[in-house]
Amino acid sequence: MKNLKLASRTITERTIVNVGNVKIGRDLVVIAGPCSVESEEQTLETARAVKKAGADMLRGGAFKPRTSPYSFQGLGLGGLKILARAREETGLPIVTEVIDPRDVSWVAEFADVLQIGTRNMQNFSLLKEVGQTGRPVLLKRGMYSTLEEWLNCAEYILSEGNPDVILCERGIRTFEKYTRNTLDLSAVPAIKELTHLPIIIDPTHSTGRLSLIGSMSMAAVAAGTDGLMIEVHCNPHEALCDAAQALTPEIFGGLMRRLRPLKSFLECDNERSAATYAENRSAVRCDNET
Amino acid sequence: MKLEEIRNKIDKIDRELLVLLQERMGLALRSKKFKKTVSDPEREEALLDRVERLNLDLMERSFTRQLLKTIIEESKRLQEKDHLLVAFQGEHGAYGDVASRCLVPDGAFIPCMEFADVFRGVEEGYLDLGVVPVENSLEGAVTQVNELLTTTNLKVIGEAQIPVKHCLLATEATNYREIRLVYSHPQALAQCRGFLMRNKLEPYPYYDTAGAAKMLARENPRTSAAIASSLCAELYNLEIIKQGIEDGPSNSTRFLLLSREPYEGRGDKTSVVFATPHKAGQLYKILSLFAEAEINLTRIASMPLRTDPGNYSFFLDLEGSDQDEKISQVLKQMKELTISFKQLGSYPADIQAV
């Protein structure tokens, strides 16, 4: 970790990334939307639904890094224009992935946050390029990467003069086959020990199972995550990409109604326990004096 | 040549044909002002004969004759529609064209090379109305137009505040990743400097924004794009890569609608232009007339007099109509204090105008 000049905890002040009115690193920020932008209709409908459910930002892929070259590759520039229209209508800032260094400046023209996907975490020329845009970057953890490798990638972006890096844990490869990946929730408190950068959790790609997304979102909030990135599709069965793991707007709405109260409960609880701790301390001191 | 190359060339020729036809239709509309009737069988026959005499070996003479006949029929149909001819400076798709469409929605829009052509055409009756820019919110007065307003006898019968929303345009065949050169009017290029720098695009000055769009549509040079209005995308079948690429905050231009006859209704904004003798307090006296009568002025601009360096004429816009008793009184008093005085007209104000 000694190579981390800008990402390490030696900088004590926590980074808060401002995107419009959204403050990542201070509030619980929920980013929701479809895996990919398929059409204007689908994107706008989903955007309206996640906005109504209380999401803070809209996600959606215009450039898709697919495992197979024959899978749907995304709408490209057309997808970016649709996302810009969705922002115009809903006011939700846009998070979208960039996979090609040649596209970085163009994606930055349309999006509010540039996402670096798990497969590109160590694509250093891409990291340098996004480091020069002045747009916040959401850096997903490589599916085979250690925390140290991940933070070194953040360091690449920071060292180009871009201070706004958001880390996103999206599950790592293990021998377990029931889930798509294994969500490493310990990354949340560990990252907070190691760096001042905010961290969010992607419960969708990490589990790959609809039934687990709700529980893992709650667990992530309990672990102290700064936000969640959840796939929502207005019509999941017709999705062109990752159909089996997108929540319907209804289920997402239900989850949102549980997330925010949990967060406030934990905050109150923190204050309460801090108060109790202080009381106990003074009690102990009194005891010692006697 | 490969099939793809051949097809690209065919597409380019089709685009050029249509752009030229559009120009021909505009000229046909203008020719109507010189004729008593739309139909002119003699001229038609002469045209058809001439085309038939051309020896184009790939085209049957009957075909060329039929083709031209179809075009002539369409011109006549257009001429019969009695559109008002609305002149603006620049190519089709220029911001003047945008303003014309906003001010006279069912007009026929006639591009002119120079502002002077717009004024002259309307004055001489070859064109019905003119639309000219007087002031841009960032760049200030359009001096040429302001000067023409003082030297010609046209009346202002309307105004429109047109937001300047620059778009990056390219032909459908152009991949945005390959764009390196961007053609446009130097002013538009300057207003989008940040955008061009961010995306490492090289600005390339061109005589007109819409002219650059038209050139793209006709010639489709490689790795090139243009900065122009979204209307240009529509008119020249170009793709809008991004809308609103200007760096600064909202930028808009105020256009005036000009006619030989004054506005028929009452109007709620009045424009005058005047010059005062070189005496102390003369301008102050005039302005105090408006202050005392509690008439709000929306624009005061001065312009050097070309004929008399060191002297200025002043443009005043005020709220209200010259038919209002209060205003006509003040204008009368004002006239006595000036060495030259001209009422440009009273007209409906555009609520967007500053």
| Nearest residue in chain A measured CA to CA from B199 | A105
Position A244 pLDDT exceeds 70: yes
Position A243 pLDDT exceeds 80: no
Integer CA distances (angstroms), B195 to A27, B105, B149, in order = 32, 33, 36
Mean pLDDT of chain A: 91
| A-chain residues near B198 (CB < 8 A) | 105, 108-109, 133
Mean pLDDT of B307-314: 84
- Whether A8 is in a domain gets the answer no
Question: A-contacting residues of B 192-221, CB under 8 Å?
Answer: 195, 198-200
Mean pLDDT of A149-154: 96
How many distinct structural domains can be found in chain A?
1
Position A289 pLDDT exceeds 50: no
Position B165 pLDDT exceeds 60: yes
Q: What is the pLDDT of residue A274?
A: 64
DSSP codes, A107-140 = HHHH-SEEEE-GGGTT-HHHHHHHHTS-S-EEEE
Highest averaged pLDDT of the listed ranges A238-247, A273-282, B25-34, B128-137 = B128-137
Mean pLDDT of A77-86: 96
Nearest CA distance, A111 vs chain B (angstrom): 12
Nearest CA distance, B223 vs chain A (angstrom): 14
Q: List pLDDT tens digits, range B180-205.
A: 999 999 989 999 999 999 999 999 99
- Residue B53 at interface with chain A, using a CB cutoff of 8 Å: no
CA-based nearest residue to A246, from A34, A64, A10:
A34
Q: How far apart are CA A137 and CA A147, in angstroms?
A: 17
Q: In this complex, do A102 and B199 lie within 8 Å of one another by their Cβ atoms?
A: no
What token pair was written down for B98? 């945008």
Q: Provide, rounded to the nearest whole percent, the portion of chain B with pLDDT above 70.
A: 99
Query: CA angle at residue A112 from B242 to B177, to 5 degrees?
Result: 40
Mean pLDDT of B90-101: 94
| Nearest residue in chain B measured CA to CA from A85 | B243
Coil, helix or strand at residue B75: helix
Q: In this complex, do B198 and A105 lie within 8 Å of one another by their Cβ atoms?
A: yes
Q: List pLDDT tens digits, range B229-251.
A: 999 999 888 999 999 999 877 78
Assign A285 a pLDDT band (cuts: 50, 70, 90): low
| B-chain residues near A106 (CB < 8 A) | 176-177, 199
Q: In this complex, do B199 and A77 lie within 8 Å of one another by their Cβ atoms?
A: no
Nearest CA distance, A155 vs chain B (angstrom): 23
Q: Is A36:A96 a contact under the CB 8 Å cutoff?
A: no
Q: What is the pLDDT of residue A290?
A: 42
Q: How far apart are CA A115 and CA A166, in angstroms?
A: 9
What token pair was written down for A74? 């995304």
Strands A137-140 and A113-116: parallel
Question: In the A/B pair of chains, how many CB contacts fall below 8 A?
Answer: 17
Position B280 pLDDT exceeds 60: yes
Assign B312 a pLDDT band (cuts: 50, 70, 90): confident
Q: In this complex, do B195 and A109 lie within 8 Å of one another by their Cβ atoms?
A: yes
Mean pLDDT of B121-149: 91
Q: Provide, rounded to the nearest whole percent, the portion of chain B with pLDDT above 90.
A: 58
Number of Cβ within a 10 Å radius of residue A37? 28
Question: A-contacting residues of B 222-241, CB under 8 Å?
Answer: 241
| A-chain residues near B199 (CB < 8 A) | 105-106, 109
Q: In this complex, do B242 and A110 lie within 8 Å of one another by their Cβ atoms?
A: yes
- Whether A83 is in a domain gets the answer yes
Q: Where in chain B is the domain with CATH 3.40.190.10?
A: 167-243
Mean pLDDT of chain B: 90
| Nearest residue in chain A measured CA to CA from B196 | A105
Position A272 pLDDT exceeds 80: no
Nearest CA distance, B177 vs chain A (angstrom): 7
Q: In this complex, do A106 and B200 lie within 8 Å of one another by their Cβ atoms?
A: no
Q: Provide, rounded to the nearest whole percent, the portion of chain A with pLDDT above 90.
A: 78
Q: In this complex, do B242 and A109 lie within 8 Å of one another by their Cβ atoms?
A: yes
Position A273 pLDDT exceeds 80: no
Nearest CA distance, B171 vs chain A (angstrom): 14
| A-chain residues near B242 (CB < 8 A) | 109-110
Position A284 pLDDT exceeds 80: no
DSSP codes, A3-65 = T-SSSBTTS-SPP-EEETTEEETTB-EEEEE-SB---HHHHHHHHHHHHHHT-SEEE-BSS--
| Nearest residue in chain A measured CA to CA from B241 | A77
CA-based nearest residue to B346, from B283, B284, B282, B257:
B257
Query: Domain B3-80: which topology?
Result: Chorismate Mutase Domain, subunit A (1.20.59)
Mean pLDDT of B11-39: 85
Q: What is the pLDDT of residue B72?
A: 92
Domain extent at residue A61: 17-289
Q: In this complex, do A102 and B177 lie within 8 Å of one another by their Cβ atoms?
A: yes
Pick the residue with more confidence: A9 or A19?
A: A19
- Residue B36 at interface with chain A, using a CB cutoff of 8 Å: no
Q: What is the pLDDT of residue B40?
A: 83
Q: What is the ipTM of this complex?
A: 0.79
- Whether A96 is in a domain gets the answer yes
| B-chain residues near A103 (CB < 8 A) | 177
- Residue B242 at interface with chain A, using a CB cutoff of 8 Å: yes
Question: What are the phi and psi torsion angles at A61 (to 5°)?
Answer: -95, 130
Q: What is the pLDDT of residue A213?
A: 96
Q: How far apart are CA B267 and CA B269, in angstroms?
A: 6
Best probe of the B interface among A109, A110, A132, A135, by most B CBs < 10 A, is A109
| A-chain residues near B200 (CB < 8 A) | 105
| CA A21 centroid distance within chain | 17
Best probe of the B interface among A85, A98, A106, by most B CBs < 10 A, is A106
Integer CA distances (angstroms), B26 to A209, A229, B71, B117, B217, in order = 63, 56, 13, 15, 19
Best probe of the B interface among A63, A75, A77, A107, by most B CBs < 10 A, is A77
Q: Is A34:A46 a contact under the CB 8 Å cutoff?
A: yes
Mean pLDDT of A60-77: 89
Catalytic residues of B: 253, 255
| A-chain residues near B201 (CB < 8 A) | none
Assign B48 a pLDDT band (cuts: 50, 70, 90): confident
- Whether A193 is in a domain gets the answer yes
Q: Is B145:B89 a contact under the CB 8 Å cutoff?
A: no
Q: What is the pLDDT of residue A282?
A: 60
| B-chain residues near A108 (CB < 8 A) | 198
Please, what sign has the CA dihedral across residues A268, A274, A280, A282? Answer: negative
Q: Where in chain B is the domain with CATH 1.20.59.10?
A: 3-80
Q: In this complex, do B176 and A106 lie within 8 Å of one another by their Cβ atoms?
A: yes
Polymer length in residues for chain A: 290
Q: What is the pLDDT of residue A249?
A: 95
- In this structure, whether the domain defined by B85-163+253-347 belongs to CATH 1.10.3720.10 is answered with no
- Whether A5 is in a domain gets the answer no
Q: What is the pLDDT of residue A280?
A: 62
Q: What is the pLDDT of residue B56?
A: 79
| Nearest residue in chain B measured CA to CA from A110 | B242
Interface of A with B (CB under 8 A): 77, 102-103, 105-106, 108-110, 133
Q: How far apart are CA A240 and CA B231, in angstroms?
A: 34
Q: List pLDDT tens digits, range A179-189.
A: 999 999 999 99
Q: For domain B167-243, which CATH number applies: 1.10.10.920, 3.30.420.40, 3.90.1150.10, 3.40.190.10?
A: 3.40.190.10
Nearest CA distance, B339 vs chain A (angstrom): 54
Assign A65 a pLDDT band (cuts: 50, 70, 90): confident
Q: In this complex, do B242 and A105 lie within 8 Å of one another by their Cβ atoms?
A: no
Assign A278 a pLDDT band (cuts: 50, 70, 90): low
Q: Kindly report the CATH number assigned to the domain that includes residue A244.
A: 3.20.20.70
Helix A40-53 crosses helix A249-289 at what angle (to 10 degrees)?
Answer: 30
**Among candidates A103, A108, A109 on the partner chain, residue whose Cβ is nearest the Cβ of B177:** A103
Position B111 pLDDT exceeds 70: yes
Position B219 pLDDT exceeds 90: no
Nearest CA distance, A43 vs chain B (angstrom): 19
Q: In this complex, do B199 and A106 lie within 8 Å of one another by their Cβ atoms?
A: yes
Burial (Cβ within 10 Å: 0-12, 13-18, ≥19) of residue A208: middle
Q: Is B320 left (phi over 0), alpha (psi -120 to 50) or beta?
A: left
The pTM of the full predicted model, rounded to 2 decimals, is: 0.80
